[in-house]
Structure 1
């Protein structure tokens, strides 16, 4: 086993989730991530904790969904009950085929998301983390050799996370005092939103590994303008290309895509919250320096912002603020590396991917 797999497991257990001997742990992973699961069990065993594994099988999931009637999807009570007894959840993504579920009826995907929502909400009460175990399929998706992709993945994961936290805190301090944010990129994106009274969160690798972003939630009805996304959005194995959304009073009132627009339409019809923004994230991980078509990495890249339709993140929304509730949370990326800026209360805080507290900002 590559020592970097064991290092990955060490970070997940010791840093991200701080597992102790009294913890009940759920590791949810597909078969291609077996090496990482083995390494996790080694590390968890050193802590004297108690893991169980839920193996994910996309082929089986596809076969099941294709035979189900949308009306028959319901919350799996046995999974919900198990989650109530779980202290830590480690979610591992890995795939042999990124499009395995691409021919499942989107209406069934909506129904499955709604049925799963109570389990997701219970999981958010645990100490949880999501990560990616590399495979040749994701290397191919990134248009990289397996060796180069391996180096890239571990370069993004095995970082000085405390130093990363300090770097990102500079942006948190700005956003915590912010009222309005404007995002402009080229001639196709000009988006305005209010974050007054919301909290900014410093993601330094605890709930996502790799981490490397600062995120907040807009006031749901404050989002105005148009945004065009530069990378495909994957929805249940289907890539949606060239997504363009127009917002009025916080709601998507017009949309377009050059490919799989029907999947975008279906996603927007999941529930009332699916047409509103639940998160604004700003990438800050300088170890991620190219698009790989893998959202867990791309959304952390320092030259990107991402807007997520759907469910807001509880950490961002105080009790006295309106929470956007939805069964989906769909991240979409804007490339901010050229002809772009992020403005906070009328002051530019990032220009062409460079933050005002970084060297080179004046010349960006």
Structure 2
């Protein structure tokens, strides 16, 4: 198969499965300027699927780097209201949003973390309504990826620029199952498997989850009336399914914000806002981080945790089998979208209101009372390995295996 054939199938998968574009929808694409061919394919296929408008917002990582290096400090305390209003209007009108990630994992490695943190704090309140629509699935959205030379070179340091890009494209096509005969049908089948896993977990109604692995001894309490999610999601307005992430291998939920105890150690690097954080550990008491270490990127880890009070608590736990296309590639992607789907992971910060019964109808204060966390951030980090065992504990104290040696035990 030619590269062009695979790229066409990738665009088809994005439009028909990731976004599942409906007649009359408006699509907003946040796209790197490196990939006009992919964006044009997606645009054409979206219109063919019935989209009314396709709006493209081009991004250039070099311009982003220049801004962080050269703009005055006060620029990072502001966020454009017009952009926030446009995104909120898109959500309120049941639009679709696609982010094509091609970021250099170390784009901002020489930038003061305080600037990055200030920018996140400024954006948070402005984007609150939009993010609420995303977390409640009252709009359609998805994240996919495409290579940049810097990212490809990080994943394949032994290859020159062009060869590294081709190798990363091949890895993306494999991880997203685009290299299979009918990726759209394959994803419908894969989503059915993930739906089966989450239904089994929901039926078990565990009270706590216990993690054991080298450097990790962690217990996480689950809120009453919790709901495991994973794979496809259902648009709350239109009733149709879409995939917020492609690829995805996870089944996830939001834990009780005050119920995490113990120590957890990362197993893959975390690329956070253009900086790498590596070999780090977090210690929790009564849900809150009380200590943390990092061999690389300590200041970035500190800035992330200190961005607000909610960043000290978990907003997500996710189960991912060690045997999966991404994990089996034996690659570290230095990209959360991919690395989180090779490994069990946790997320600091904002919880998902859809992960408890009736959660989307609760006020923010009611969600917190129900055990859900709130924060400006939601940052996934990887903790899984072939050595990880996970148990579920029932309310009566009975223990049941969920994972053994990194894979499903049922």
TM-score w.r.t. structure 2 length? 0.80
1:156 aligns with 2:178: no
User: Which region of structure 1 is more displaced relative to structure 2, 76-85 or 257-266?
Assistant: 76-85
2:379 is matched with which residue? 330
1:314 is matched with which residue? 353
- SS of the residue corresponding to residue 324 of structure 1 reads coil
Stretches of structure 2 that go unaligned for 5 or more consecutive residues are: 233-241, 394-398
Counterpart CA distance in 1 for 2:98 and 2:117 is 24
2:239 is matched with which residue? none
Show the 5 A alignment for 1:88-127: 88-95=96-103, 97-117=104-124, 118-119=126-127, 121-123=129-131, 124=134, 125-127=138-140
Counterpart CA distance in 1 for 2:87 and 2:409 is 43
1:287 is matched with which residue? 325
1:347 corresponds, among 389, 397, 400, to: 400
Stretches of structure 1 that go unaligned for 5 or more consecutive residues are: 358-364
**Cα contact 2:28–2:56 (8 A) shared by 1:** yes
2:43 corresponds, among 41, 44, 47, to: 41
Counterpart CA distance in 1 for 2:141 and 2:231 is 13
1:8 is matched with which residue? 10
1:360 is matched with which residue? none
Deviations 1:278-314 (A, max 9, x none): 111112472212232322112112xx21011111123
Cα deviation for residue 136 of structure 1 reads 3.7
User: Which region of structure 1 is more displaced relative to structure 2, 59-68 or 271-280?
Assistant: 59-68
- SS of the residue corresponding to residue 9 of structure 1 reads helix
Cα deviation for residue 16 of structure 1 reads 1.9
1:172 is matched with which residue? 198
How many positions carry a matched residue from both structures?
352
1:62 aligns with 2:51: no
Counterpart CA distance in 2 for 1:80 and 1:238 is 25
**Cα contact 2:155–2:331 (8 A) shared by 1:** yes
Cα deviation for residue 138 of structure 1 reads 2.9
User: Which region of structure 1 is more displaced relative to structure 2, 150-159 or 190-199?
Assistant: 150-159
TM-score w.r.t. structure 1 length? 0.90
Counterpart CA distance in 2 for 1:174 and 1:21 is 34
**Cα contact 1:58–1:101 (8 A) shared by 2:** no
